[in-house]
Amino acid sequence: MKVFDIAPVKFADGKMMILDQTQLPGEEIYIEARTKEDVWEAIYHLKVRGAPAIGVAAGYGLYISVRGYEGGDMAGFRKLVGETSEYLNSSRPTAVNLSWALGRMERVLDEAIKAGEKSTHLTVEEAKKLMLAEAEKIRMEDEESCKAMGEYGLSLLKPGMGILTHCNAGTIATAKYGTCLAPIYLGQERGYNFRVFADETRPLLQGARLTSWELYKSGIDVTLICDNMASIVMKNGWIDAVVVGCDRMAANGDGANKIGTSGVAILAKEYGIPFYMFVPTSTIDLNTRTGDDIPIELRKGEEIYRMWYEKNMAPEGVKTYNPSFDVTDHKYITAVITEKGVVRPPYDVNLRKLKDE
């Protein structure tokens, strides 16, 4: 089975199914989300993760959370949608696709309600169908977006290259194909024979559990390394390019991604290696001026010293600092790859031009 066939979120026969990525690589288990609490918990606890996949989950999740509303009171239904959207948005503050998808769902509903006031009255049941259709659009558009990013990314790479990646921005982090891994999959289909090095990505090990798993499963040459080995593989001359995803990009080109990304970018600059950040336009937040304005999610310290071990790997009660993301300064980013094309500096000018197209 191709890894392309493994979707992080599925919706069929009225059921929203989520691939529980906390169980990978040991087990491929899908869980059903029936309530807003189920969706919130799945996003917060990283059962579904990756900015685009979170956006897809948000769309379907908002729909399944309000579809049980009974009665024909549109004002009451709209109030429920707003409250539910706010609740789901609290699950992970850094990934902008979450708020983007929820906001998109609300805007489509508001536009339909406004249009209904001028012509045919919109019923609550029609509003529910409209929301489901919009969730489907979010998923399909993300799949198309990832394919396009793959093509643009591949134009920057050459056959036989050694490529380093951090965290997981593959097909299980998106609707399909992935963001920064999309050119690797397309390259495999075209005989590029890339050699991929995957950082383990402490403390939640997305690179080890997810990236190495999906690339290995797809028959791609992948080597798993510890995070602190990135420098030596670069020094050895094994890395020709770095590709990473992004959870939120500020207007000036600063990009928030999984913790450790900024360190990889600084190393790449030192060794003269191009550093490419793959960013769907939905992840570009022009309302956030710089990376300093991006909220960084802090998680429990147990993830550092307890989560993966039979015994604690640090003294019980020791102070911890566990940010889930860091921000890569735009000066370290060689190019930003979007579904609309490759963006180069100055990012504060060119990202805005791209969004205005």
Strand order through the sheet with 255-258 = 284-285, 248-250, 255-258, 325-328
Instruction: Report how far residue 256's alpha carbon sits from residue 329's, in angstroms, rounded to the nearest whole number.
Output: 9
Q: Are 198 and 33 in contact (CB under 8 A)?
A: no
From the list 20, 142, 247, 326, the catalytic residue is 247
Q: Cα separation of 173 and 206, whole Å?
A: 10
d(CA 155, CA 56): 27
User: DSSP strand E in 45-123: where?
Assistant: none
Our CA dihedral for 43, 19, 278, 251, rounded to 10 degrees, sits at -20
Which among 177, 52, 76 is positioned nearest to 127, based on CA atoms? Answer: 76
Q: How far apart are CA 306 and CA 294, in angstroms?
A: 28
Q: Are the beta carbons of 19 and 168 closer than 8 angstroms?
A: no
Quick one: which of 152, 174, 179, 135 has its CA closest to 50? 174
Phi, psi of 306 (to 5 degrees): -125, -35
Q: Is 247 a residue of the active site? A: yes
Q: Which residues are catalytic?
A: 247
